[in-house]
Chain A
């Protein structure tokens, strides 16, 4: 048999090839099993998230208000005053807006672009009722001399780019001014930056509190004999399985001014009966409730790691002369770091996007960035801004998720 001769399977095909075919078949089979879910998620979930991006940079508000004007402006080069055609189109668009009583929105939007635009537009709204047909350019320019200034027309044109990142700037309390420079908004109006830093702060401290509380009990659960630890495990798992709203409701009862926590403080003499502290509708409420609600997510990964650490390691350390403290910090603690990483990142990711609990117990000073997104989705209907904020939050979470994946691996997530 020469070396080139290949081993053949029973049907005469070289074995190597038939193996490759079988592998390919298996590959396709495995892929086909995943396909339904993958397609479903891509269509209903991944693409809509990507679509949020196009929504967030696509600002059609003013374009939709002045459709004729922008059509007429297409030929205008922006160097000198626009032609009669543009003036006429603007007059017609603006007339509709005034009649529908939506001109105020346009005035505000254009005033962002060019200071003082509002008064010019308001004057036009009053005067244009007496306009005669034809030669609108002259008539408009007669209303206010600023209409002769080409800057105002440029401001209108500038307001309708095909895409804009202004929503992202607004998300960090900045905007681009008339000269196109990016500047910060006035100090007393920087609400979003406060929200971002508060969200990070709450997420960080909730993670820290969860870690400090979860570590001892996870250790206890992992070292106790099975029959006791199973019983105590229920204390962790029951809150885990209980509805989030039920747990939030119980905190609302406990933390109210006449609630049990305040009763207890009065009883031990920490505060007097007539000046019970407000513990709800502020940051304290958010901290306490979120810590309790997210605690199981820290305990479970810690527990599953600690369970695998053999107790003989600590005994060996001690028999070699280490004090219990040294043995703990040199042997036990380093071994639990994977669990700490998993727990902390899980809790942090969950906390950073929390919505329900802060909305109910947080009040005005305890709400987070998610509440702002929901507010713009439901109340102001500024969906492109909500999308922009959502994507900024998502980017942060994905970065953390990526770190999580590097440290722990997504497929190592364990539940229960």
Chain B
């Protein structure tokens, strides 16, 4: 953002000050994430930059914490990772199916009580997690689903659907309904129309909603803390216990893996967003 030549000096100073403030805020946002990378390769057990690391001495770096993460004795991360992925994948599938159906209904102009129903469907996103956790725990305990995978998956479907509903409704807002009518008039049955016409067009919205649901489930700890038994531990629960007891470099190794995962998710989400914007651009 270059300034025009005629800008007066004090506005020029103001402008550079503004850029400086922005730079600081961006630094504040992103820098904490990058502290974890080097420290996870620390050869020592301490979570500070050792003198060797400051000199970039190769001996001060090691991958021992990564080895500990994978092969360590009585190590919880393998089971936790397995549970996390199973729970997140099933929760995502459930959220996508329920959320997309509901979004299709909600974006129909015939839908009665739209505001009220939307408010109910989005409520798990607005209600503080701790309250959701308490309520879901009471339900699961009564239904005998506490400390089971199924219970946690259902809980995560509750928390994940609002994201799918919101993203798919947003995608459908630019959707041209005359093409589905055209398909019907050409003799396609509703199911076929949905699979061949509607779904491919709203797919970016569905997938990005699914990503939100996946991340929500994969990152969720409050509700799982109430519901999980020893066999249902997940990565966030293990991190939570680890952080409460002692901050060990192994946790940082796990954290690094999670950051890499989130970079991948971010890239996917960005690609989808651009594709969806392009598609909607054509419709207009």
Rounded to whole angstroms, the CA-CA distance of A377 and B98 in the bound complex is 30
Majority secondary structure of chain A interface residues (helix, strand, loop or mixed): helix
Q: Which residues of B contact A223 (CB under 8 A)?
A: 1
Rounded to whole angstroms, the CA-CA distance of A349 and B131 in the bound complex is 13
Q: Which residues of B contact A253 (CB under 8 A)?
A: 35-36, 39, 47, 247, 252
Residues 47-65 of A, flagged 1 when their CB comes within 8 A of B and 0 if not, give 1110110010000000000
Tell me if A180 is interfacial: C-beta within 8 Å of chain B: no
Residues 127-148 of B, flagged 1 when their CB comes within 8 A of A and 0 if not, give 1111111111111000000000
| A30 and B255 form a contact (CB under 8 A) | no
Rounded to whole angstroms, the CA-CA distance of A416 and B28 in the bound complex is 20
Neighbour of B22 across the interface among A36, A220, A237, A260, CB < 8 A: A220
> Please, which residue of chain B has its CB at the minimum distance from the CB of A409?
B115
Q: Which residues of B contact A378 (CB under 8 A)?
A: 225-226
Tell me if A267 is interfacial: C-beta within 8 Å of chain B: no
| B134 and A30 form a contact (CB under 8 A) | no
| A250 and B33 form a contact (CB under 8 A) | yes
Tell me if A194 is interfacial: C-beta within 8 Å of chain B: no
Residue of B104, B135, B154 ringed by the most chain A CB atoms within 10 A: B135
Chain A positions 209-235 with a Cβ under 8 Å from a chain B Cβ? 213-214, 216-217, 220, 223-224, 232, 234-235
| A36 and B102 form a contact (CB under 8 A) | yes
Q: Residues of B within 8 Å of A, CB-based: how many? A: 92
Known contacts A34-B105, A49-B127; A42 and B22 CB within 8 A of each other = no
Q: How far apart are B13's CB and chain A's nearest CB, in angstroms?
A: 12
Chain B positions 200-222 with a Cβ under 8 Å from a chain A Cβ? 208, 212, 215, 218-219, 221-222
Tell me if A259 is interfacial: C-beta within 8 Å of chain B: yes
Neighbour of B129 across the interface among A33, A43, A353, CB < 8 A: A353
| B101 and A36 form a contact (CB under 8 A) | yes
| B167 and A248 form a contact (CB under 8 A) | no
| B130 and A239 form a contact (CB under 8 A) | no
Rounded to whole angstroms, the CA-CA distance of A100 and B111 in the bound complex is 59
Q: How far apart are B215's CB and chain A's nearest CB, in angstroms?
A: 6
Rounded to whole angstroms, the CA-CA distance of A252 and B18 in the bound complex is 29
Tell me if A236 is interfacial: C-beta within 8 Å of chain B: yes
Tell me if B32 is interfacial: C-beta within 8 Å of chain A: yes
Chain A positions 364-411 with a Cβ under 8 Å from a chain B Cβ? 370, 373-374, 377-378, 383, 386-387, 390-391, 393-394, 397, 401, 405, 410-411
Q: How far apart are B18's CB and chain A's nearest CB, in angstroms?
A: 6
Tell me if B186 is interfacial: C-beta within 8 Å of chain A: no
Q: Which residues of A contact B85 (CB under 8 A)?
A: none
> Please, which residue of chain B has its CB at the minimum distance from the CB of A353?
B128
Tell me if B16 is interfacial: C-beta within 8 Å of chain A: no
Q: Residues of A within 8 Å of B, CB-based: how many? A: 91
Q: Which residues of A contact B61 (CB under 8 A)?
A: none
Neighbour of A23 across the interface among B26, B110, B129, CB < 8 A: B110
| B136 and A48 form a contact (CB under 8 A) | yes
Q: How far apart are A45's CB and chain B's nearest CB, in angstroms?
A: 5
Rounded to whole angstroms, the CA-CA distance of A383 and B135 in the bound complex is 11
Tell me if B118 is interfacial: C-beta within 8 Å of chain A: yes
| A34 and B101 form a contact (CB under 8 A) | yes
Known contacts A37-B99, A238-B30; A386 and B240 CB within 8 A of each other = no
Residues 45-65 of B, flagged 1 when their CB comes within 8 A of A and 0 if not, give 011110000000000000000
| A38 and B29 form a contact (CB under 8 A) | no
Known contacts A245-B236, A410-B122; A45 and B132 CB within 8 A of each other = yes
| B252 and A249 form a contact (CB under 8 A) | yes
Tell me if B182 is interfacial: C-beta within 8 Å of chain A: no
> Please, which residue of chain B has its CB at the minimum distance from the CB of A45?
B158
Q: Which residues of A contact B155 (CB under 8 A)?
A: 44
Neighbour of B219 across the interface among A40, A245, A354, CB < 8 A: A245
Tell me if A413 is interfacial: C-beta within 8 Å of chain B: yes
| B212 and A415 form a contact (CB under 8 A) | yes
Tell me if A244 is interfacial: C-beta within 8 Å of chain B: yes
Neighbour of A48 across the interface among B21, B139, B219, CB < 8 A: B139
Q: Which residues of A contact B163 (CB under 8 A)?
A: 415
Given contacts A356-B222, A410-B119, 6 further A-B contacts (CB under 8 A): A23-B110, A46-B120, A242-B262, A250-B33, A355-B129, A370-B130
Q: Which A-B residue pairs are the 6 nearest by beta carbons?
A: A353-B128, A33-B105, A30-B108, A34-B105, A48-B135, A26-B110
Q: List 10 A-B contacts (CB under 8 A).
A: A31-B112, A36-B101, A40-B98, A42-B120, A45-B139, A216-B22, A241-B266, A249-B243, A373-B130, A378-B225
Q: Name A's B-contacting residues (CB within 8 A).
A: 23, 26-27, 29-38, 40-49, 51-52, 55, 213-214, 216-217, 220, 223-224, 232, 234-239, 241-254, 256, 258-260, 292, 295-296, 324, 349, 352-356, 359-360, 370, 373-374, 377-378, 383, 386-387, 390-391, 393-394, 397, 401, 405, 410-411, 413-416
Q: Name B's A-contacting residues (CB within 8 A).
A: 1, 11, 18-19, 21-22, 25-26, 28-30, 32-33, 35-36, 39, 46-49, 98-99, 101-102, 104-106, 108, 110-112, 115, 117-124, 126-139, 154-155, 157-158, 161, 163, 165-167, 169-170, 208, 212, 215, 218-219, 221-222, 225-226, 236, 239-240, 243-244, 247, 251-252, 255, 258-259, 262-263, 265-266, 269-270, 273
